[in-house]
C-alpha cells in the first residue's frame, strides 16, 4: 500500500523526472544490447542496428510503461479533455448541433423525471408512511369497488377493529369566512380529533386537536367544535406566517373558532386552509358515503391481516344493518397510492418511457455525427496508434468527446427542464400531482448526471469501435478522402433505422393519446357546454332555515333572466363535471327482491331549480320540467310530508321502468335508508355529469326549496359568456353583499378541466414525439448529406459514365428510404408490443389502431423522403470533372 | 518454440525467479529467462519494462542505478521481502498447476 502511494506521488508530482528516468533506462538497455552484439563480433553500425531492432520502438515501450504506471492516467485524461475541447471548438457546427440535440433530450427527460420523482418517489410527509392506509367501502355486487365511508360505519369500524393503532375520518366542506375583508368561500376539512396523529404529522406551532375536542351537540356535524388548525399555505398567505396567530379567532359561517395550531407544509394531502374537528354523534347517517378514512396499522400488522379483520367487521355490519350495509365490504389501499392513482401512475411511466426513447434518438444522432467525424479523423487516430496508443487509450480518447458533448447537453438540458417545469407551474397545470414540489433537487440532478454519463458512453461506443487499430499503414497512406461504404456506412444505416423505429413508437403513442383526447372532447356530453357561464354562490348555513336562501336564489335567477344577453338561467346543487358526486340508491316498486342483478341502481342526486334543464341544454324527453309548484323532498319540521316529484335521466328511467312509461310512476329514494316515496314527473337526456372521461351518469333530479338550496348557477348567454362576468358580480353584490361568488368560468372550461390529465398526457407526448420527429429528420438528413459528400468521386464517376440527374436523385433517396422502411417495420412491431401499456389511458381507441399506424408510417416516410431529397438534389449537381479531380 | 506467447502471470513468476538469486538489470533478466527456459520464452523489452514497473509499484521489486560488468550505467532490480513471499506463493501455485496439467494430459 505504502509503496503504491509512493509511486503515485512520484508519477504525479515528479512526472518529468520519472519520464527522464524511464528514457534513460531504455537507453541503457539499448546500450547493453549493443555491447552484447559487439562482443559477439559485429562491427559498431551493425551492432547498433541489431540492438534497435531487438528493442523495438522506444516510444511504444514508454507508452506501455505509462499505461501501467499509477496515476499517469489522470494526467493523460486531462490532456485528452483539453484535446477534445480543442477539437470541439474547431468544429463548432458539430458541437452546437450535437449538444443542442442532447440538450433537448435531456431537458425533456429531466423535466419528466422531476415530475415523476415528485409524484411517485418523494415519500409522504408523514411518519412511517408504510403503515398508513386508506380504507374505503365497497359494494361489489353493485359494481362499486371504492366509495367513501358513511359516518356511522366509520365509528363502528373504529370501535371494532383490532388491526389499527388509530383510524381517522375527514370530510371536505365549504364555509363562508367573514371578518377578514369581504366575505369569501373557504374550503375546510372537518377531521376527527386523531386525524393528524393517524397521519403521523405534528403542528409546526401550537398544538394538535385533543381527544374529546371533537365532541359537539350541534346537529350540523362540524358545528360543535370551537377550535381550528390552519394549513401551512393559508397561514403563510393570510397571516404572513405570523406565530401570533395562535389564539386568534376565525369566523366561519358566523361561528367563532379559536386557532390552536398550524400544520407543516405537506401538499397535496395537507393543503386545506382550515381544519376543524368533528366527533361521534348518536344517530348519524349510515347511508351517505362522505368520509375519507385513513388508518395507521399497528406495528407488525400486515395489510393482509388487516383486510381479514375488516372483512369480519363488514360481515357483521352487513348482518346488523341489512338496509344500508347490504353487501358492504372494505378495501385498503396503501398510502403510496394517495398522491397518484393508477391512471396517473401509468401516465407518468408512459411519459418516462417516451423521454427515454427521445433520449435514445438524440444519442443515436450524436453517435452518427461522431461516426462521420471519426471517419474523417482516421488519420489522426492512425498517427496515435503509430505512436503507441493502445486500443483502450483510443477508445477512451474517442469517448471523451461524446462525454464532453453530453456534459454540455446536460447543462443546457437542466436549464431547459427548469424552464419547462416552472412554465408548467406558472400555467397552473392541474392533473399533475405534487407539481409544486417538482424541481431540480439532488435526486433530479443525480438522474441527469447519470443520464449524461450513459448517453456519453452510448453515443461514444459506435465511433470508438470504429477507431482503426490494425491497418495503421493503410490508414496513413489512404489520406483523408476515401469512398463511402465499409463498416462505418453500415453502422450509420443501422443507427438511422433505430431512430426511425423509435420515432415511430413515440408518434404512435402520441397519436393514440391525441385521438383518445379528441374522442373525449367530441363525445356527446348530453349538456350543451357552449355559450354557458357557470359560477358558485355560497350562502351561510343560516340561510337554509328561514327561507332567505331560496329567496336569494329566486332573485338572482330573476335578475339574470332579465339581462338582455341571457337566454336561460338555472341553478343546481352540485357543479356539473366536478369531482363531488352525492348519490343514493333508488328503486321502483315491484322490481324483484332487490338483490343481485335486481339490486337498486346507484344514482347521483342533484337539487335543481326550474329552468335548470334549459340552461344546461339537457333535452326534456318526457313529462315536464320542475315548476314553482314542486316542493323539496325533505319535509319542513312540523309540516306534513310533501308530495315529492323527481325527474330522471333517460338511462336511469330505462333501468327502473324497462317496460312502462315512467311518467307518473312511483320510485323509492334513498332505498334502504330513509325510503322516501316520490313520483316521476319528467325524463331528461343523459349527461356526462361526472366528467368527460366518465360514462354517462345515472341522475335523479329533485326540486329546490327553502330547505334544499342550490349553489351553482348556469347561464346560457348570447355571445361570449365571460363578457357577462362583470354584470354577474355586480348583480350579486347588489342583492346581498355578504355572499361570496366563486369559481366563475365558462361551462366549456369546466368540461375541459375534467379531462385535464388526459389533455396533458396528449400534449406532452405530442411535444416529445414532435421533437423525436425533428431529431430523426436531422439524423437522416445529416447521414445522407455526409455520405453523399463522401461519395462525390463515385457519383462523379457515375455521371461521367452516363447516369442522369434523376438516377442520382433516385439513388440517394433510395439510400435514405431503405433504413426508413426498415425502421417503420421495426417500429410498428415495437408499437404493437408496447402500446398494450397504454390501454387504460385510451378512450374509444384500440391500442392497435390501424389508421394511427398508417398515418405515422406515412408521416415518417414523407419525412425520410424530404430529408433525403435535399442531399439528393445536391448530388445531382455534382460536376464529374471537378469530382474526379478530387481523387 | 521461440514465439510461444507468455501465459498470463507467467512473466511475473519468471522475473521473480530470475531475481531470486541476485539483483539484475533488465537485459540480464531477459537473458536469464531465455536461458532457464531454454529459449522457449523470449521476453521483449516492450513486455519486460511494463512488468518491471508494475511489480515495482506493487512493492515486490526495488530498483536503483548501478554499473554493469562492462561499466555501463544500468538500472538494477532486486527482490524485496514482499517480493520473496510473492515468489514462493506463485512458484507453489505454478507447481500445482503444472503437476495437475501434466497429470491430466497423461491420463487422456
pLDDT tens digits along B55-106: 888 889 988 888 887 788 888 999 999 989 989 988 898 888 888 888 888 8
Please tell me whether the interface predicted TM-score (ipTM) of this complex is above 0.90. no
A9 touches chain B (CB under 8 A): no
**pLDDT band at A826, cuts 50/70/90?**
very high
**pLDDT band at A287, cuts 50/70/90?**
low
- Contact residues, chain B, for A20 at CB < 8 Å: none
Lowest average pLDDT, out of A128-137, A178-187, A377-386, A580-589, goes to: A377-386
CB contact under 8 A, A28 and B72: yes
Q: Is the pLDDT of residue A212 over 60?
A: yes
Facing residue for B50 by CB, picked from A54, A56, A65: A65
pLDDT (0 to 100) of residue A488: 66
pLDDT (0 to 100) of residue A650: 94
Closest residue in chain A to residue B52, using alpha carbons only: A65
Instruction: Measure the CA dihedral A749/A754/A758/A759, to 10°.
Output: 10
Rounded mean pLDDT, A405-431 = 89
- Contact residues, chain A, for B49 at CB < 8 Å: 22, 25-26, 61, 64-65
Q: Is the pLDDT of residue A73 over 80?
A: no
Q: Is the pLDDT of residue A38 over 60?
A: yes
Contact between residue A246 and residue A205 where contact means Cβ atoms under 8 Å apart: yes
- Cα of A50 to nearest chain B Cα, Å: 14
Beta strand A205-206 with A227-230 is unpaired
Closest residue in chain B to residue A25, using alpha carbons only: B75
Q: Between A78 and A610, whose confidence is greater? A: A610
pLDDT (0 to 100) of residue A594: 55
A17 touches chain B (CB under 8 A): no
Q: List the grid coordinates of A163.
A: 388491526
Rounded mean pLDDT, A33-62 = 85
- Cα of B96 to nearest chain A Cα, Å: 29
Instruction: Assign A41 to helix, strand or coil.
Output: coil
pLDDT (0 to 100) of residue A323: 72
Q: Is the pLDDT of residue A642 over 90?
A: no
- Cα of B74 to nearest chain A Cα, Å: 6
Distances (CA, A) of A614 to A231, A457, A569, A571, A717: 40, 65, 8, 11, 12
Report the candidate in A431, A355, A169 with the shortest Cα–Cα distance to residue A765: A355
Q: How far apart, in whole angstroms, are the C-alpha atoms of residue A830 and residue A818? A: 18
pLDDT tens digits along A360-374: 999 888 888 888 777
- Identify the H or E element spanning A746: strand A741-746
pLDDT (0 to 100) of residue B12: 86
Partners of A276 in the beta sheet? A190
Facing residue for B72 by CB, picked from A35, A64, A67: A35
- Size of chain A, expressed as the number of residues it contains: 887
- Contact residues, chain A, for B32 at CB < 8 Å: none
Cα A234 to its chain centre, rounded Å, is 27
A31 touches chain B (CB under 8 A): yes
**pLDDT band at A157, cuts 50/70/90?**
very high
Q: Between A109 and A83, whose confidence is greater? A: A109
pTM of the model: 0.72
CB contact under 8 A, B50 and A56: no
Q: Which of B43, B57, B81 to mutate to test the interface with A (most CBs of A within 10 A)?
A: B57
Closest residue in chain A to residue B65, using alpha carbons only: A25
pLDDT (0 to 100) of residue A261: 93
Q: How far apart, in whole angstroms, are the C-alpha atoms of residue A81 and residue A541? A: 73
Residues of chain B that touch chain A, judged by Cβ-Cβ distance less than 8 Å:
25-27, 44-46, 49-51, 53-54, 56-59, 68, 70, 72-75
Q: What is the mean pLDDT of chain A?
A: 85
CB contact under 8 A, B53 and A69: yes
Q: List the grid coordinates of A18.
A: 520519472
- Contact residues, chain B, for A64 at CB < 8 Å: 46, 49-50
pLDDT (0 to 100) of residue A486: 56
pLDDT (0 to 100) of residue A219: 46
**pLDDT band at B4, cuts 50/70/90?**
very low
Instruction: Measure the CA dihedral A226/A227/A233/A234, to 10°.
Output: 30
pLDDT (0 to 100) of residue A622: 92
- Contact residues, chain A, for B25 at CB < 8 Å: 28-29, 32
pLDDT (0 to 100) of residue A450: 93
Contact between residue A532 and residue A546 where contact means Cβ atoms under 8 Å apart: no
pLDDT (0 to 100) of residue A822: 93
Lowest average pLDDT, out of A63-77, A269-283, A446-460, A739-753, goes to: A63-77
Q: Is the pLDDT of residue A310 over 50?
A: yes
pLDDT (0 to 100) of residue A47: 87
Q: Is the pLDDT of residue A643 over 80?
A: yes
Facing residue for A25 by CB, picked from B50, B58, B75: B75
Neighbours of A881 (CB within 10 A): 10
Rounded mean pLDDT, A695-701 = 90
Q: How far apart, in whole angstroms, are the C-alpha atoms of residue A516 and residue A519? A: 5
pLDDT tens digits along A113-139: 999 988 888 888 888 888 999 999 888
Facing residue for B26 by CB, picked from A3, A29, A36: A29
CB contact under 8 A, B49 and A65: yes
Rounded mean pLDDT, A631-649 = 87
Rounded mean pLDDT, A481-489 = 53
- Contact residues, chain B, for A22 at CB < 8 Å: 49, 53
Contact between residue A215 and residue A279 where contact means Cβ atoms under 8 Å apart: yes
- Size of chain B, expressed as the number of residues it contains: 108
pLDDT (0 to 100) of residue A873: 85
- Contact residues, chain A, for B27 at CB < 8 Å: 29, 32-33, 36
pLDDT (0 to 100) of residue A484: 43
- Contact residues, chain A, for B75 at CB < 8 Å: 24-25, 28
Facing residue for A65 by CB, picked from B53, B58, B59: B53
H-assigned helices in A91-179: 92-116, 151-160
Closest residue in chain B to residue A30, using alpha carbons only: B27
Neighbours of A592 (CB within 10 A): 11
**pLDDT band at A783, cuts 50/70/90?**
confident
CB contact under 8 A, A3 and B54: no
- Contact residues, chain B, for A28 at CB < 8 Å: 25-26, 72-75
CB contact under 8 A, A54 and B49: no
Q: Is the pLDDT of residue A593 over 70?
A: no
CB contact under 8 A, B75 and A28: yes
Cα A566 to its chain centre, rounded Å, is 39
pLDDT (0 to 100) of residue A94: 79
- The number of C-beta contacts closer than 8 angstroms across A and B is 67
A40 touches chain B (CB under 8 A): no
CB contact under 8 A, B49 and A69: no
Range with the largest mean pLDDT of A418-427, A563-572, A741-750, A768-777: A563-572
Distances (CA, A) of A190 to A86, A228, A235: 66, 10, 17
> pLDDT exceeding 90 applies to what percent of chain A?
31
Contact between residue A142 and residue A602 where contact means Cβ atoms under 8 Å apart: yes
- Cα of A58 to nearest chain B Cα, Å: 8
Beta strand A712-717 with A532-537 is antiparallel
**Maximum distance among all alpha carbons in chain B?**
54
Q: Between A171 and A6, whose confidence is greater? A: A171
**pLDDT band at A608, cuts 50/70/90?**
very high
pLDDT tens digits along A241-279: 899 999 999 888 878 889 999 999 876 678 889 998 887
Facing residue for B74 by CB, picked from A7, A28, A55: A28
Amino acid at each position: 500500500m505504502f509503496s503504491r502511494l509512493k509511486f503515485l506521488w512520484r508519477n504525479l508530482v515528479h512526472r518529468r523526472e520519472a519520464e527522464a528516468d524511464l528514457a534513460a533506462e531504455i537507453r541503457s538497455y539499448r546500450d547493453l544490447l549493443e555491447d552484447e552484439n559487439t562482443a559477439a563480433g559485429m562491427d559498431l553500425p551493425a551492432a547498433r542496428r541489431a540492438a534497435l531492432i531487438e528493442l523495438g520502438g522506444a516510444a511504444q515501450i514508454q507508452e506501455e510503461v505509462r499505461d501501467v504506471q499509477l496515476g499517469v492516467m489522470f494526467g493523460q485524461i486531462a490532456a485528452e479533455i483539453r484535446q477534445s475541447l480543442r477539437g470541439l471548438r474547431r468544429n463548432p457546427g458539430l458541437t452546437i448541433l450535437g449538444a443542442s440535440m442532447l440538450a433537448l433530450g435531456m431537458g425533456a427527460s429531466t423535466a419528466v423525471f422531476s415530475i415523476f420523482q415528485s409524484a411517485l418517489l418523494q415519500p409522504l410527509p408523514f411518519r412511517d408512511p408504510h403503515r398508513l392506509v386508506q380504507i374505503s367501502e365497497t359494494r361489489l355486487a353493485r359494481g362499486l369497488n371504492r366509495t367513501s365511508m358513511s359516518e356511522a360505519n366509520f365509528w363502528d369500524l373504529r370501535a371494532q377493529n383490532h388491526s389499527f393503532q388509530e383510524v381517522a375520518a375527514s370530510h371536505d366542506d365549504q364555509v363562508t369566512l367573514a371578518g377578514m375583508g369581504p366575505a369569501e368561500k373557504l374550503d375546510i376539512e372537518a377531521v376527527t380529533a386523531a386525524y393528524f396523529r393517524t397521519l403521523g404529522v405534528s403542528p409546526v406551532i401550537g398544538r394538535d386537536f385533543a381527544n374529546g375536542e371533537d365532541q359537539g351537540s350541534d346537529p350540523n356535524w362540524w358545528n360543535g367544535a370551537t377550535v381550528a388548525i390552519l394549513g401551512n399555505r393559508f397561514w403563510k398567505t393570510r397571516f404572513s406566517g405570523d406565530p401570533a396567530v395562535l389564539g386568534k379567532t376565525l369566523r366561519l359561517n358566523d361561528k367563532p373558532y379559536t386557532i390552536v395550531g398550524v400544520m407543516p407544509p405537506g401538499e397535496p394531502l395537507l393543503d386545506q386552509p382550515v381544519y376543524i374537528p368533528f366527533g361521534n354523534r348518536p344517530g348519524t347517517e349510515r347511508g351517505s358515503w362522505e368520509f375519507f378514512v385513513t388508518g395507521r396499522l399497528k406495528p407488525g400488522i400486515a395489510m393482509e391481516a388487516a383486510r381479514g379483520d375488516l372483512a369480519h367487521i363488514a360481515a357483521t355490519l352487513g348482518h346488523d344493518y341489512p338496509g344500508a350495509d347490504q353487501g358492504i365490504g372494505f378495501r385498503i389501499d396503501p398510502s403510496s397510492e394517495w398522491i397518484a392513482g393508477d391512471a396517473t401512475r401509468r401516465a407518468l411511466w408512459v411519459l418516462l418511457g417516451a423521454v427515454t426513447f427521445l433520449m435514445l434518438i438524440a444519442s443515436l444522432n450524436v453517435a452518427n455525427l461522431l461516426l462521420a467525424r471519426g471517419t474523417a479523423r482516421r488519420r489522426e487516430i492512425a498517427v496515435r496508434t503509430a505512436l503507441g496508443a493502445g486500443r483502450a487509450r483510443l477508445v477512451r480518447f474517442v469517448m471523451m468527446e461524446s462525454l464532453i458533448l453530453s456534459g454540455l447537453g446536460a447543462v443546457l438540458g437542466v436549464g431547459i427542464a427548469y424552464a419547462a417545469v416552472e412554465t408548467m407551474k406558472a400555467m397552473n397545470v392541474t392533473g399533475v400531482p405534487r407539481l409544486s414540489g417538482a424541481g431540480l433537487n439532488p435526486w433530479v440532478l443525480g438522474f441527469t448526471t447519470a443520464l449524461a454519463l450513459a448517453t456519453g458512453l452510448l453515443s461514444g461506443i459506435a465511433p470508438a469501435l470504429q477507431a482503426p487499430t490494425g491497418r495503421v499503414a493503410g490508414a496513413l497512406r489512404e489520406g483523408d478522402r476515401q469512398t463511402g461504404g465499409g463498416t462505418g456506412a453500415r453502422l450509420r444505416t443501422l443507427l438511422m433505422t433505430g431512430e426511425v423505429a423509435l420515432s415511430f413508437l413515440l408518434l404512435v403513442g402520441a397519436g393514440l393519446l391525441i385521438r383518445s383526447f379528441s374522442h373525449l372532447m367530441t363525445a356527446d356530453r348530453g349538456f350543451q357546454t357552449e355559450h354557458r357561464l357557470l359560477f358558485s354562490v355560497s350562502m351561510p348555513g343560516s340561510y337554509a332555515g328561514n327561507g332567505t336562501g331560496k329567496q336569494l336564489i329566486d332573485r338572482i335567477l330573476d335578475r339574470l333572466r332579465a339581462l338582455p344577453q341571457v337566454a336561460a338561467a338555472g341553478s343546481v346543487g352540485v357543479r356539473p363535471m366536478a369531482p363531488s358526486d352525492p348519490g343514493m340508491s333508488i328503486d321502483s316498486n315491484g322490481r324483484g327482491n332487490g338483490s343481485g342483478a335486481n339490486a337498486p341502481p346507484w344514482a347521483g342526486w342533484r337539487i335543481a331549480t326550474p329552468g335548470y334543464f334549459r340552461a344546461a341544454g339537457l333535452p326534456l324527453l318526457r313529462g315536464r320540467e320542475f315548476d314553482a309548484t314542486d316542493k323539496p323532498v325533505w319535509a319542513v319540521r312540523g309540516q306534513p310530508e310533501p308530495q315529492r316529484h323527481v325527474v330522471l335521466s333517460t338511462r336511469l328511467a330505462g333501468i327502473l321502468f324497462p317496460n312502462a312509461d315512467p311518467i307518473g310512476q312511483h320510485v323509492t329514494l334513498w332505498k334502504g335508508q330513509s325510503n322516501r316515496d316520490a313520483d316521476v314527473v319528467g325524463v331528461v337526456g343523459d349527461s356526462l355529469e361526472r366528467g368527460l372521461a366518465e360514462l354517462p351518469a345515472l341522475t335523479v333530479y329533485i326540486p329546490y326549496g327553502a330547505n334544499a338550496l342550490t349553489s351553482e348557477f348556469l347561464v346560457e348567454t348570447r355571445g361570449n359568456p365571460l363578457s357577462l362576468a362583470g354584470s354577474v358580480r355586480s348583480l350579486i353584490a347588489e342583492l346581498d353583499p355578504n355572499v361570496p361568488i366563486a369559481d366563475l368560468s365558462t361551462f366549456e372550461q369546466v368540461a375541459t378541466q375534467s379531462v385535464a390529465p388526459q389533455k396533458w398526457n396528449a400534449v406532452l407526448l405530442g411535444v416529445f414525439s414532435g421533437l423525436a420527429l425533428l431529431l430523426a429528420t436531422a439524423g437522416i438528413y445529416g447521414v445522407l448529406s455526409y455520405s453523399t459528400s463522401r461519395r462525390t468521386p463515385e457519383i462523379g464517376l457515375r455521371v461521367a459514365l452516363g447516369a442522369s440527374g434523376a438516377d442520382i436523385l433516385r439513388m440517394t433517396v433510395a439510400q435514405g428510404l431503405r433504413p426508413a422502411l426498415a425502421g417503420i417495420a421495426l417500429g410498428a412491431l415495437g408499437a404493437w408490443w408496447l402500446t398494450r401499456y397504454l390501454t387504460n389511458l385510451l378512450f374509444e381507441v384500440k391500442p392497435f389502431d390501424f389508421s394511427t399506424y398508417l398515418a405515422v408510417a406515412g408521416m415518417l416516410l414523407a419525412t425520410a423522403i424530404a430529408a433525403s431529397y435535399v442531399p439528393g438534389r445536391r448530388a445531382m449537381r455534382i460536376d464529374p470533372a471537378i469530382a474526379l479531380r478530387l481523387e | 518454440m521461440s514465439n510461444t506467447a507468455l501465459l498470463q502471470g507467467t512473466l511475473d513468476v519468471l522475473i521473480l525467479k530470475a531475481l531470486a538469486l541476485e539483483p539484475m538489470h533488465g537485459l540480464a533478466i531477459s537473458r536469464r529467462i531465455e536461458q532457464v527456459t531454454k529459449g522457449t520464452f523470449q521476453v521483449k523489452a516492450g513486455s519486460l519494462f511494463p512488468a518491471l514497473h508494475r511489480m515495482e509499484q506493487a512493492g515486490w521489486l526495488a530498483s536503483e542505478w548501478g554499473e554493469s560488468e562492462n561499466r555501463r550505467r544500468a538500472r538494477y532490480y532486486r527482490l524485496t521481502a514482499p517480493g520473496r513471499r510473492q515468489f514462493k506463493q506463485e512458484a507453489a501455485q505454478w507447481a500445482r498447476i503444472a503437476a495437475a496439467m501434466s497429470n491430466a494430459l497423461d491420463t487422456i
